[in-house]
Amino acid sequence: MAALTHSYYCGASNTQIIYQTIGNYFDTICERYPEQEALVVCHQGIRWRYRQLQIEVNRLATGLLALGLEPGDRIGIWGANSYEWTLVQYATAKIGAIMVCINPAYRLYELEYALNKSSCRAIVSAAQFKSSDYLSMLKELAPELSACAPGKLRSAKLPHLETVIRMGEEATPGMLNFSAACSLGSIGDKHQLDVLKRELRPDDPINIQFTSGTTGAPKGATLTHCNILNNGYLAGEGMRFSPEDRLCIPVPLYHCFGMVMGNLACMAHGATAVYPDAAFDPLSTLRAVQEERCTALHGVPTMFIGELDHAQFAEFDLTSLRTGIMAGAPCPVEVMQRVIGQMHLGEILIAYGQTEVSPINHMTLPDDSLKKRTQTVGRAVPWVEIRVVDNAGIVVPVGAKGEICTRGYSVMRGYWDDEERTRATIDPAGWLHSGDLGVMDSEGYMQIVGRIKDMLIRGGENIYPREIEEFLYSHPAIAEVQVFGVPDEKMGEEVCAWVQLHAGTSLTEDVLKDFCRDKISHFKIPRYIRFVKEYPMTVTGKIQKFVMREHMASELTEGD
């Protein structure tokens, strides 16, 4: 390939896009690998082969049809990782319903917003998880549940919701148990399921993913069969998956990372999906990798850090590992080197993207050099165009900084019931504007250098937090660091760093500032440094800098 001069690259492929529905492709895989292990759920004692998974999915799909749910209807799923979650994912795809992923951390206001914004007719809910009592929240929003027959809800606050299906075997007034829903299907419903195999289309919307809410109100990215099936397939291709692979999935299914790059990546290649726990726990993840002989492991950087730094890390045999994907946040070079060296993940990939592109548009590959795999997010995945543009929308030269834009099969249909924000994100030429700042090299590899909204301006100097973070990671005591701007009367903004230290190390504010002097520009040295044990995060592992910014602004105001 000739060296690029301008920041435009299109991912090449020798294969065609999979132009099928998820349900039909799933059935093909189940027929091809009926005895291959499909799903292992460690915390629920589930171990299903593809034939059994197909039977269970069809039972739920016909049960949903028996409840009167139809193609295009929205069905919410609310809960941590479980076999029920996966059955809902495939069953809704089979009947053409749109699965609405509801953040397990949502509380009353957010739940009400998500259900009403998407006009959910039904919701499948866990009973509870950690401090969240899901059923109590549903009953508080819809007290009419106490007096209605299951499937006949008429709620003042949730006017579209008719059916609540709860996981577990305890009985709750107005709700249907999950096992009961799976038993409702009749011969007529099975016939209808066969009819839908021929009628549903690959471009039909199949999933609404509410963005994590790191800024502003959640937006419902609306994704199709074609969007997420192909993105999952490409993730598996990048990892060189075969039916012999076993992927440990500690990331949440409610987000694209889990349900697309995890579940669909496995299904598209006849591989095995392994859930170590209901939610991420470093110990259960390490245990699952060892006991299930997993060949691949997913995670955001903070998860890998948690595993590497666990007191029992050295006790586990991780030699079965080969590959996996690290995504969700930029990965420090030091962390990547530890993952490769200490976890045997010599072929681990970096993936980058966003929910609105299903979710990955860049990925490194196993043959890429270590430098490319630690300092870039790779090149555009097949069938996707990428360009980097300036403020005027003009493609910038290679090596120049600009906004990353994506066009292709993976771009969402739009934000559900939100034309204004859709138009603000996808331009008339079909380019989706990410809000991320990147630099493309002459081979098409992309380096992420920050977010447009993350950029801070101190005394007229544009400062990109990512640059400072990468420098601070070079200090041996620092395990993780987040840099952001805080308001300042004189300078406009000042640099603030929240720092996590490795266990058994110590550091002071003055020592860290001395470490920075003469190594980075004076205006990039953090004025404010706080040593913290944890960061405010979304359930998907995205660190919420706006929460830190608000906290610091409040603290500094009180100190005046």
Query: What are 8-29's pLDDT values in tens digits?
Result: 999 999 889 999 999 999 999 9
Contacts of 216 (CB under 8 A, 6+ apart): none
Within a domain: 473: yes
Task: Out of 172, 200, 228, pick the residue that ends a domain.
Answer: 200
Decide if 2 is inside a domain. Answer: no
Asked if 470 and 532 sit in the same domain, the reply is yes
Question: Predicted confidence band at 34 (pLDDT cuts at 50, 70, 90)?
Answer: very high
Give the domain CATH number at 160: 3.40.50.980
Residues 63 and 97 in one domain: yes
Both 69 and 146 in one domain: the answer is yes
What's the confidence (pLDDT) of residue 466?
84
Residue 82 structure tokens: 């479980």
Strand arrangement of the beta sheet that strand 272-275 belongs to: 46-49, 37-41, 272-275, 246-248, 296-297
- The helix (H) or strand (E) run that includes residue 434 is strand 432-440
User: How many domains does the chain divide into?
Assistant: 3
Q: In this model, does residue 445 exceed pLDDT 70?
A: yes
Tell me: do 492 and 366 sit in the same domain.
no
If you compute the radius of gyration of the chain from its CA atoms, what whole number of angstroms results? 24
In this structure, the answer to whether residues 473 and 539 fall within a common structural domain is yes
Tokens of 164: 């609540």
Whether residue 142 sits in one domain with residue 221:
no
Based on the domain organization, do 408 and 471 belong to the same domain?
Answer: no
Assign 540 a pLDDT band (cuts: 50, 70, 90): low
Task: Provide the strand spans (E) within 111-182.
Answer: 122-125, 163-166, 176-177
- Kindly state whether residues 311 and 381 are assigned to the same domain: yes
Average pLDDT, stretch 406-429?
96
Of 364, 382, 414, the closest CA to residue 221 belongs to: 414
Residues 232 and 369 in one domain: yes
pLDDT at residue 560 above 70? no
Same domain flag for 126 and 274? no
Using the 3D structure, point to which of 451, 480, 512 is the last residue of a domain.
Answer: 451
Whether residue 14 is contained in a domain is answered as no
Write down which residue in 143, 165, 200 finishes a domain: 200
Question: Which segment, 417-431, 517-531, 546-560, is predicted with the most confidence on average?
Answer: 417-431
Q: What CATH number is associated with residue 531?
A: 3.30.300.30
Of 119-128, 135-144, 186-195, 445-454, the poorest mean pLDDT is in 445-454
Tokens encoding 37: 């292990």
**pLDDT at res. 129:** 93
pLDDT band, very low/low/confident/very high, at 214 (cuts 50, 70, 90): very low
Q: 520 and 551 share a domain?
A: yes
Residue 213's pLDDT is 43
CB 437 within 8 A of CB 319: no
Q: What is the model's pLDDT at position 523?
A: 82
Residue 456 lies in a domain: no
Nearest to 297 by CA among 232, 248, 245: 248
State percent of the chain over pLDDT 90.
81
Residue 10 lies in a domain: no
In a domain, 206, yes or no: no
Length of the chain: 560
Q: How far apart are CA 346 and CA 493, in angstroms?
A: 41
Q: Tell me the mean pLDDT in the region 177-201.
A: 98
CA separation (Å) from 544 to 54, 537, 550? 39, 5, 10
- More confident site: 208 or 335: 208
Residue 426 domain flag: no
Element (H, E) at 485: strand 478-488
Domain residues for the domain of 123 are 23-39+48-200
Mean pLDDT lowest among 33-42, 135-144, 152-161, 511-520: 511-520
Q: Are strands 46-49 and 37-41 parallel, antiparallel or unpaired?
A: antiparallel
248 and 170 in a single domain? The answer is no
In contact, 144 and 115? CB cutoff 8 Å: no
In a domain, 18, yes or no: no
List the single range of 158-162, 181-185, 305-309 with lowest mean pLDDT. Answer: 305-309
CATH of the domain at 320: 3.40.50.12780
